[in-house]
Amino acid sequence: MKTLPLICICLLLTFSTFAQGLFKPDTANLRKARKRADWDTTKYLRYDSRLIVGYFQSYRNFNNEFQQFKEKDSLGLSKTNYFAESRLISGIEVNYDKFSLAVGLRTSPPTQSEGKGNTKTFTTNFNIGGNIWYLENSFRYFKGFYDKNTAKYDTSFKRTGVYYQEPALENTLFRSKFLYFTNHKKFAFRSGYACGYRQIRSAGTWVLGGNVSYNNLRSDSSFFPIPSRSYYGDYGSMKGLKVIGISANVGAAATIVLFKTLFVSGLFIIGPEQQWRTYSYENTTSPISYVAWSGDGRLSLGMNFKHFYIIGSSITDFSVYNSKFVGLLNKSITGNFTFGIRFNSKTPEFYKKFQQTRFYLAI
């Protein structure tokens, strides 16, 4: 422990030296960075001096699909498909150049009359990046799930329409996702989702990605309903799962544009994920390391004009947490409708200097 302060000092000095080079004024390397940051203006336009404010409404849902591999179950009685519906979320998204921030709070909670219980939720995002790479940081919290598979084991469901509910079941997810676009001179990823850019001709790109995530699923009792609990054997008393994951992904993205305004954009990436899991039971915990899969699929369509834009989009993040006896597919599903306006704004002097750094041009 005595060496910890020395290590911290060394790291700070290293970062300081690195940062000085990264934020250094014009040099030969900076001119190279400028050349690298150039793009094909016949393919897309960039709005780096405009404040962009959007109003969005979205459905942000969480889905945890459990299944067991121990016993045959042709009727699907053992499957548990927990779903959390946030219902309508309204919020504000602010974009300036290569930075964006979105905050949303639920406005219309589900009612007990629907037989699904209530869900509490909070979500926020902070993103940075441009046409070369993009870094997304998101936090999602959901509490209160219902089992979409209730009808398989509850004979009263057809009469009552009430799902099996787990009001104490919570899911907290933090994810930091990095995306790199190989064809960044002709393709602008943000034109289809945040609109700091405007794709005016069709283009596509290969995508290289990476994820760091923390996922915590927990309850005050077993995850599994009593009718299906016996199928899971020793896993039947599971009431918590914490996962730290690091993944590398690869895939593609493309945008089809009509009349320089109408567009359809899509992205899909997938890859292996190293996972450090901690399973929690009634009286014990079990740490295990696994290599599994994670990925991201997106689709958006809309109209992107010079001064405003209208977008409808769907984003699905997923991670697979399978073991030898129990499988879990964890999905975060977001559907968005966004209306945004681009305002002319004067670029602050300090930001103009920042725009001349290698760090800025490398984004």
6 located within any domain: no
Q: How confident is the model at residue 344 (pLDDT cuts 50, 70, 90)?
A: confident
pLDDT tens per residue across span 264-284: 999 999 999 999 999 999 889
What gap in Å lies between CA 127 and CA 144, rounded to an integer?
28
Instruction: Specify the pLDDT at position 1.
Output: 44
Does the pLDDT at position 5 exceed 60?
A: no
Instruction: Specify the pLDDT at position 173.
Output: 96
Mean residue pLDDT across the chain: 84
Q: Report the amino acid identity of residue 270.
A: I
Q: How confident is the model at residue 15 (pLDDT cuts 50, 70, 90)?
A: very low
Q: Report the amino acid identity of residue 148.
A: K
pLDDT tens per residue across span 163-189: 999 999 999 999 999 999 999 999 999
Q: How many residues does the chain have?
A: 363
Domain that holds residue 158: 38-362
Does the pLDDT at position 322 exceed 60?
A: yes
pTM: 0.79
Does the pLDDT at position 286 exceed 50?
A: yes
Does the pLDDT at position 10 exceed 80?
A: no
Instruction: Specify the pLDDT at position 274.
Output: 97
Instruction: Specify the pLDDT at position 31.
Output: 57
Does the pLDDT at position 26 exceed 90?
A: no
- How would you label 13-45 residue by residue, b for 16+ Cβ within 10 Å and e otherwise? eeeeeeeeeeeeeeeeebeebeeebebeeebbb
Which whole number is the average pLDDT over 291-302?
Answer: 95
235 exposed, middle or buried (CB, 10 Å; 0-12, 13-18, 19+)?
buried
Q: How confident is the model at residue 110 (pLDDT cuts 50, 70, 90)?
A: low
The CATH number given to whatever domain includes residue 199 is 2.40.128
Asked whether 140 and 218 are in contact (CB, 8 A), the reply is no
3 located within any domain: no
180 located within any domain: yes
| Number of domains present in the structure of the chain | 1
pLDDT tens per residue across span 181-222: 999 999 999 888 877 789 999 999 999 999 999 999 999 999
26 located within any domain: no
In a 3-state reduction of DSSP, which class is residue 309? strand
30 located within any domain: no
Q: Taking CA 232 as the corner, what is the angle to CA 231 and CA 235, rounded to the nearest 5 degrees?
A: 165
Instruction: Specify the pLDDT at position 354.
Output: 80
10 located within any domain: no
Instruction: Specify the pLDDT at position 2.
Output: 46
